[in-house]
Structure 1
């Protein structure tokens, strides 16, 4: 009987086991490293959100800000045949990919020569905005702020220097006839708590500037956004909120006036007003947006109204406090009159990005209407805005314990 000899190559299997062990160790190290990386990344994100005062737009300045919705549609189109679009406009074409990478690395656009000199030329840098509170009226457009042409601002003293006025008289609306409704009794204990001013005080509206059709020239020393701010102060007075209004005309006041120093000029106005009226607590900087009529107008109850944007300074270290205050006004306005507010945005512009909002946590920049709206449309809007502001002011004062108690006479039925 023959026996079959079996030879076992132990060395071969030993080497295979050693190689397999190396692969397992490498794989284990890679897995452990990935887990540790993502854990560390999560912890850093938590620490940043918990204790950091980062700009609200900082998370939008990287890759997410550089791609569009079409980018994601084209990604799906690579897998779903019927979603494929024109190959020349395809996101992942050689030209688009190279342009995207160039823009991502340099923050420049090779098909837009303006971006190559924008950082060196004041007023040319795009004032990027990030949505903080979005409503149906927000759509996909945000506020726009274009500086004036060199010859658009009157600098020879036209319009007077202006002043700071407390308790401006109630407006007389041309749309109402007969006796005007009585103003509500003072609800801020006789204190002037709201201050309204205009950093870009000569921003104006084309329908009220005969002979002017260029939106870059929508500026005027007399008919301008200052009248909108005055209307707001007057309506707040009607609501029983003590108000102070500034109609300072900075081009007439400041020697060698520079439009891009406007917030430095208005800061002096804030300091002056606060020194004269120490009870001031709420600050409203009224502006006009640069967009055209179709993006700044809504129809309500048979009339046209200018829409508003609420702006928070993204470079303000304490922007979250201002965002909370502005959010209350936005929500109160949107609850009563949906569509008037186009939402809340954070701006971190190259030139400013603070907008003097570090002066007080209860301050906000409000853009009322655009270049194609009329003053009358803006007046209608700030009448509604005053209702929302008065509601928020009274609620804040109740929380602070500074709201006046109702007198016995006010409780008696008439």
Structure 2
């Protein structure tokens, strides 16, 4: 009777093991390079950073983290009314789908247009302000409307485009810069029909009036009247890149004027008059709203300034400011060029149904508050 060849069997097993280890090593190297490639080539919103980890874990219910800590220290569980451990199935569902079974908004937010507004953080709510009437950006112009407006802007038979330059005080270096990323946002009572965007009657007029109000307080200011919407069309850029193009304008102004410190991007909100008009001392004002982009490291500085201005306005004109909100994440710009300076703000002046007269009153009021704040900052410097 022949004995089995154990040496051959052992050698065969060893060969299989070696092949398995070799293949596992190759797979590990490939996966490592793939992960590194994803981490280094992703944009700022997608990279695995502390903020990304915060957003990821933020999708989970806080009870889970309390229970994890409570496993080591029972005192943490005293903060919970219900000591039962959350369902593991629920936690996996939340991580995999970003849907919270206890919050119906998470089922609808990515499906219904405009519902993503609930992702905004209403830091300070003015009178009557809640998540149902927060700031809404204007819809991009249709190709037909843009084509008609572009033709109206360039009546020259020779087809030469007149360059629109910035106006400024010639005697002093400006310290305030006013721009309009959505420069064609219009007010319905001031235009024929119900046009949301207009090449001439638009938010730029508010910027020019706002600048004159600052000049009354001897503050030098520069106003950008660049046609951002028209420039986007010339470059073939999508309307969502308005802030990218406006950034070029602001950065150019900073290079030209080193004293610039305060940057105001003026907009017109898209909500109705019932939310954007208020009567104070028998006069109607267009309400303001401060929007802070939270997708940059120092946004809390911008938030602090916006909150301070809101509070000062409430002291003088209660109800004039609709509040302060932070906005970021997918689907929005999330920076609004506010990373260029702690003194940068995005200000919504009124809505589609306000008149110039109402908006100008608000511009006067806000300029009065801002000039006090600006002079205080200049004295500290």
Match of 2:308 among 320, 328, 344: 328
- Alpha-carbon distance between aligned partners in 1 of 2:272 and 2:117, rounded to the nearest angstrom: 17
The gaps in structure 2 that reach 5 residues or longer are 1-48, 63-91, 154-161
- Alpha-carbon distance between aligned partners in 1 of 2:115 and 2:139, rounded to the nearest angstrom: 8
Structure 1 residue 231, shift from structure 2 partner? 1.0
- Asked if 1:248 corresponds to 2:226, the answer is yes
Q: Is the 8 A contact 2:60 2:94 kept in 1?
A: no
Give the direction of change, closer, same or farther, for the CA distance of 1:250–1:158 in structure 2 (3 Å limit).
farther
Give the direction of change, closer, same or farther, for the CA distance of 1:128–1:200 in structure 2 (3 Å limit).
farther
Asked which structure has the greater CA Rg, the reply is: 1
- Over aligned residue pairs, what C-alpha RMSD do you find? 3.5
TM-score of the superposed pair, with normalisation by structure 1: 0.62
- Alpha-carbon distance between aligned partners in 1 of 2:118 and 2:227, rounded to the nearest angstrom: 24
- Asked if 1:207 corresponds to 2:202, the answer is no
Deviates more, 1:330-339 or 1:388-397: 330-339
Cα displacement string for residues 178-219 of structure 1 (whole angstroms, at most 9, x for unaligned residues)? xxxxxxxxxxx944100000001111111112122xxxx411
Deviates more, 1:281-290 or 1:270-279: 270-279
Q: Which has the higher helix share?
A: 2
- Alpha-carbon distance between aligned partners in 2 of 1:199 and 1:247, rounded to the nearest angstrom: 10
Structure 1 residue 278, shift from structure 2 partner? 1.5
Q: Is the 8 A contact 2:183 2:228 kept in 1?
A: yes
Cα displacement string for residues 306-351 of structure 1 (whole angstroms, at most 9, x for unaligned residues)? 1011111011211011112222222222211111111110001423
Structure 1 residue 276, shift from structure 2 partner? 2.0
The gaps in structure 1 that reach 5 residues or longer are 1-51, 66-100, 169-188, 401-414
Structure 1 residue 138, shift from structure 2 partner? 2.9
Alignment size in residue pairs: 288
Q: Is the 8 A contact 1:333 1:388 kept in 2?
A: yes
TM-score of the superposed pair, with normalisation by structure 2: 0.67
Counting only pairs closer than 5 Å after superposition, residues 111-150 of structure 1 correspond to structure 2 as: 115-116=110-111, 126=117, 128-140=119-131, 141-150=133-142
Deviates more, 1:108-117 or 1:327-336: 108-117
Structure 1 residue 235, shift from structure 2 partner? 0.4
SS of corresponding position for 1:261? helix
Give the direction of change, closer, same or farther, for the CA distance of 1:103–1:234 in structure 2 (3 Å limit).
farther
Give the direction of change, closer, same or farther, for the CA distance of 1:158–1:59 in structure 2 (3 Å limit).
farther
- Alpha-carbon distance between aligned partners in 2 of 1:275 and 1:222, rounded to the nearest angstrom: 28
Aligned to 2:78: none
- Alpha-carbon distance between aligned partners in 2 of 1:291 and 1:103, rounded to the nearest angstrom: 32
- Asked if 1:288 corresponds to 2:268, the answer is yes
Structure 1 residue 352, shift from structure 2 partner? 1.1
- Alpha-carbon distance between aligned partners in 2 of 1:392 and 1:193, rounded to the nearest angstrom: 13
- Alpha-carbon distance between aligned partners in 1 of 2:362 and 2:112, rounded to the nearest angstrom: 38
Counting only pairs closer than 5 Å after superposition, residues 150-189 of structure 1 correspond to structure 2 as: 150-151=142-143, 152-153=145-146, 156=150, 158-159=152-153, 161-167=163-169
- Alpha-carbon distance between aligned partners in 1 of 2:349 and 2:311, rounded to the nearest angstrom: 16
Give the direction of change, closer, same or farther, for the CA distance of 1:124–1:332 in structure 2 (3 Å limit).
closer
Structure 1 residue 115, shift from structure 2 partner? 3.0
Give the direction of change, closer, same or farther, for the CA distance of 1:157–1:396 in structure 2 (3 Å limit).
farther
- Asked if 1:348 corresponds to 2:342, the answer is no
- Alpha-carbon distance between aligned partners in 1 of 2:218 and 2:258, rounded to the nearest angstrom: 18
